[in-house]
Amino acid sequence: MLDGRPLIDAHVHAARLPTLPPAWRQWAEEFGSAHPWQDLYDADGTLVPERVDAYFEREGVDIALLLCEYSPKTTGMQPIEDLAPLLKHNPRRFRPIANVNPHLHYPIGAEVERQLGFGAAALKLHPVHGGFGVADPDLYPAYEVCRDAGVPVVVHCGTSSFPGSANRHADPAPVDDVLRLFPGLTFVLAHGGRGWWYDAAAFLALSRDNVWIELSGLPPRRLPEYYGRHDLRRLARRFIFGTDWPGVPGVARNARAIAALGLDEETVSLVLGGNALRVYKGLSVRPPVQPSPEGKDVSR
């Protein structure tokens, strides 16, 4: 809990450093310089579960959704198996998000099912780093698995500066084509159209009940500017909080910046946790502990 509200960070990169290219380390050091994320790693570049858990506890995070990624052209191979120590250490706080790349995984539906076996709350696709289109028919079996399992699909929707990125694949418009073929599927637009597609992402989220905007990588104070052509109070009810950790000034800092935008309390609570509880599969937040009349702590 942070300031009395449940807090879910839906976009956390928890990779082992040896699997990553130098550009990833440069990105994390530039955008995450305000907090000592390096202290959470051991000498071999592996996250220490006790340190990571304590860090997110201090930041007020109830649930952190951990990303893996299979993008050898850009950010390297970050297998879901590397998340296992964190998931085992605190399965209430940490949940994985699966990832597939149609250039690497076949049959792709079977790989999605395998990764869902780790308890994945969603499937992440990274067209920009993987070099594929979100409407590629090779992805249809993955969409079928997610639709039938009630698992949302998170799509990177915005520019990326990593060498090897194909930013032409960041346009969210093809999501509309996929939804026509898979009307029961839910999409989450990570990074909210960062770059040239803020309006397209906002239109999709406002026009379709099963499309959401996830805020990772977007400075909260600039959201009114990015979505200036839309009613922010209405659009914010389609927002899901995420940070892009470790490339963020701080989880609690960003969450409090959301709360400072002047939105009503109900909307702030939806952005910081309520919408994620609705969208991602199998999430739950332990109710706050309240003192009983006798002075003992009890859960509501």
**Residue pLDDT, tens place only, 137-153:** 999 999 999 999 999 99
Residue 37 has pLDDT above 60, yes or no: yes
pLDDT tens for each residue of 84-139: 999 999 999 999 999 999 999 999 999 999 999 999 999 999 999 989 999 999 99
Q: Where are the alpha helices (DSSP H) in 196-274?
A: 198-207, 223-226, 232-235, 251-259, 265-269
What span, in angstroms and rounded, lies between the C-alpha atoms of 237 and 206? 9
Q: What is the pLDDT of residue 157?
A: 94
pLDDT tens for each residue of 211-249: 999 999 999 999 999 999 999 999 999 999 999 999 899
Q: What is the pLDDT of residue 292?
A: 53
Residue 300 has pLDDT above 90, yes or no: no
pTM: 0.93
Secondary-structure breakdown of the chain: helix, strand, coil percentages, each rounded to the nearest 5: 40, 20, 40
